[in-house]
Amino acid sequence: MKLYIVRHGIAAAHGTAGIAEDDRPLTKEGIKKTRQAAEGLRAMECFPEAILSSPLPRAIQTAEIVSEVLGKSTPIVLIDALAPGGSRQELYKEIRRRQNSESVMLVGHQPSLGEIAGDIAWGSPDHFVELKKAGACALELAAFNPKPHGNLLWLLPPYILRELK
């Protein structure tokens, strides 16, 4: 299975008056750049069977933009384990449940997404991957038990994804 990992786009700044930390939405620039990065994912033929997203607004918005741009009516499933501080083990259980899928996409937050990628590719979250906002990586999963394990296929910052469109 291919596992695509996408960090949410540019969101309202931390500490923005009147917006709780967990409620920060994408900015206008974040929406525009996320859409362009999603067009790069489409050009790379990244068509997941499902998008698993953090339940926070900035991640949901990112997942919705990606789903729309990919044009495949990809279902978005909200997964609490992808929220900041979520349980990596619960996420791995969800991935195992989908192990017969050709591909799945995760949308969430740093540092946890980078730790997940490092844990899958190199066996430890200490070897994390730095994902920029609206950046992405892909892994080819070879095993699912006791936790997912595989190889990093590519890691692209958002400016490269935007150029691919």
**pLDDT reported for residue 90:** 97
**Chain segment 118-154, per-residue pLDDT in tens:** 999 999 999 999 999 999 999 999 999 989 999 999 9
Chain centre to alpha carbon of residue 39:
15
Each residue's pLDDT tens digit, 96-111: 999 999 999 999 999 9
Residue 149 phi/psi, 5-degree rounding, is: -145, 140
Domain residue spans in the chain?
Answer: 2-164
The proportion of the chain whose per-residue pLDDT surpasses 90, expressed as a percent, equals 92
Strand-by-strand arrangement of the 136-143 sheet = 76-78, 50-53, 103-108, 2-7, 136-143, 149-156
Report the percent of the chain where pLDDT is more than 70.
100
E runs forming strands in 36-147: 50-53, 76-78, 103-108, 136-143
Q: Provide CB contacts within 8 A for 90, sequence distance 6+.
A: 79, 80, 81
Q: Is the pLDDT of residue 161 over 90?
A: yes
CA 22 to chain CA centroid, Å, is 17
pTM comes to 0.97
Quote the CA–CA distance of 108 and 129 in Å, as a whole number: 14
One of 2.20.25.90, 3.40.50.1240, 3.90.1170.50, 3.40.50.10580 is the CATH number of 2-164, namely: 3.40.50.1240
